[in-house]
Amino acid sequence: MPQYSDTILLFKKRAATGEGGLLTGIDPSAFDVSDPLRLWIIQVGVIIMMAQLLSLGLRRLKQPKVIAEVLGGILLGPTAFGRIPGFTNHIFPEDSLPYLSLVANIGLCLFLFIVGLEIDASIIKRNARMSVIVSFAGMALPFGLGSALSIPLYNHFIDPSVQFTHFMLFTGVAYSITAFPVLCRILTELKLLDTTVGIIVLSAGVGNDVVGWTLLALSVALVNAGSGLTALWILFTCLAFTLFLIFVVKRVMLWLARSTGSTDNGPTMFYMTVVMILLWACAFFTDIVGVNAIFGAFLAGIIVPREGGLAIALTEKLEDMVSIVFLPLYFTISGLNTNLGLLDNGITWAFTIAIACLAFCGKFGGCTIAARLSGFSWREASTVGALMSCKGLVELIVLNVGLQAGILSQRVFSMFVLEALTLTFITTPLVTILYPPDRRTIAAPGGALPQIRTRDTESEEGVSDDKQSMMVNEEYPWRHRFTVVLDRLEHIPCMMALTQLVRLPVPEHHFSPPSPTTNTTTSTTNTAATIVANTKTASRLRTPKVSINALRLIELSDRTSAV
């Protein structure tokens, strides 16, 4: 009984001390296991402010935000601010990192769910042959180079207790993967989305993303498995789960979306609840079978229906919170684990330069040659290679998984983080030099690559707008074309009402067919010609006088959903 009383008094003393707060002299940055929220808020505020300040300067250089987030984490880590006495112990103490990591991993699952939402199979189908060739070449050659480089890296920097095959797999996957979300932002910044290069890079990037995450899941399964047979069972379990999601759960989600009206009016509250349950259920399942939880979140995003822009609406609801709060937390943890001070000798720097050069040469060379063999010019092919060499946040996720699994040491992790930042940073300037605006080729409508036009196709399709308008005016001399721009969706009902007013029906008595009692001396041929001419006139008069072709323009922003 006395021991129980002492415990009660201790908790009461803590509560009474906390009630006074800052006025009682409590240090707000002091970490308390019973109340970790205060320090967590301070950490989030410092992380977001650092990322936003760095992004203001890097935005002028047209650099993606992920560079600012990772640089902010590196500066807050042992490389820079961590050298200030007491900074790490007060702002990022060791005991508080599990709470920060928990929220960051929740955000990472949400981010992979958004990545799955952005995977559109129709993009690959439009240019399947070229995208598959570029994607395969952009993964096979870097994977081979990464596997070859893993031999000296393993001998110099990795503990012998780590299996070489596991390290080789993670190195190959880190080399072969492309940062699809960062790629979308770069294409938006450089206005390349409607070019032939942009279309093929998007198509190849989607395929690269799917294969890359599958390879990562396989690598994690091999690491977590005690034997090869266990890894095989894990692989078959994930494959069966994926097929179940695609062929059963996906149809149920589509039926539910139509039943709740989510495809017409956006996701309802009930449908959002079901989607969130599905997300965390998939993440939980893949985690307990031996694969990382992020792979389940990625699968959940893939099976969400695309009908009626539902996937875009879901992305818009989630991506602001994920990109502003959750992702900076995750990359700050990456920065805290990155210590550039460990790169303290010539051999380490030589390996770091070799990692960056081989990673770039593998991606750039493989994708450039594949694009050139597919029919692109050398300028366009080299631009495809430069864009596909972008690493960014996806490689950082792979590296963090390897670090948490004990496959990568902190020194090797820091070397690869520096390589990812370098390759992402040089992507935009390199593409600007290789593919200036005056050398760009605009893709055909619908995302298909343009065909070479000949004189025959021009005569059949009518290439010139002036020729088309002249033909229209000869057939319908009364027709005029107007362009009306509405800056708000609320103006559409008024415009439609005005259209209905001027769209008056033509009375039937305005046209009377030829009398059956015509002059017998009239030629039968002339009568038939008159009937045909009058019939054309009647059909022309009965045709509505107003026709509308609508086009909605959406401004591109730094959000991935705008792409």
Question: What is residue 450's predicted lDDT score, i.e. its pLDDT?
Answer: 52
User: Do 422 and 476 lie in a common domain?
Assistant: no
The answer to whether residue 8 is domain-embedded is no
> What is the count of structural domains for the chain?
2
- Digit-coded pLDDT (tens) for 501-517: 766 555 555 445 554 44
Q: Are residues 332 and 468 in the same domain?
A: no
| 54-97 confidence digits (pLDDT tens) | 888 888 887 878 788 888 888 888 888 888 888 888 888 888 88
Residue 73 has a pLDDT of 84
459: domain range?
A: 452-481
DSSP state of 326: I
Among 398, 200, 389, 188, smallest CA distance to 292 is for 398
CATH number of the domain bearing residue 382: 1.20.1530.20
Residue 214's pLDDT is 80
Q: What is the DSSP string of 196-244?
A: HHHHHHHHHHHHHHHHHHHHHHHHHHHHH-SSHHHHHHHHHHHHHHHHH
What is residue 152's predicted lDDT score, i.e. its pLDDT? 93
pLDDT at 483: 76
Q: For residue 506, which phi and psi values (nearest 5 degrees)?
A: -95, 120
Is 293 in the same domain as 333?
yes
If asked whether residues 469 and 409 sit together in one domain, one would say no
**Per DSSP, what are the bridge partners of residue 195?**
442
Q: Give a yes or no: residue 191 inside a domain.
A: yes
On whether both 361 and 466 belong to a single domain, the answer is: no
Q: Which long-range contacts (CB under 8 A, 24 or more apart) does 237-240 make?
A: 237/289, 238/286, 238/289, 238/291, 238/295
Residue 464 lies inside a defined structural domain of this protein: yes
Note whether residue 23 is domain-resident: no
Domain co-membership, 470 together with 423: no
Q: How far apart are the first and last CA of the chain?
A: 66
Answer for the pair 235, 218: CB distance below 8 angstroms, yes or no. Answer: yes
Pair 185, 198: CB distance under 8 Å: no
End of a domain among 415, 443, 471? 443
- Whether 351 maps to a domain, the answer reads yes
Shared domain check, 461 and 432: no
* Confidence at residue 224, expressed as pLDDT on a 0 to 100 scale: 74
* Low pLDDT (below 50) residues in the chain: 1, 7-18, 451-477, 510-511, 515-533, 535-541, 543
**Cβ atoms of 53 and 316 closer than 8 Å:** no
Phi then psi dihedrals of residue 426, to 5 deg: -85, -5
Give pTM, 2 decimals: 0.70
- Does 21 map to a domain? no
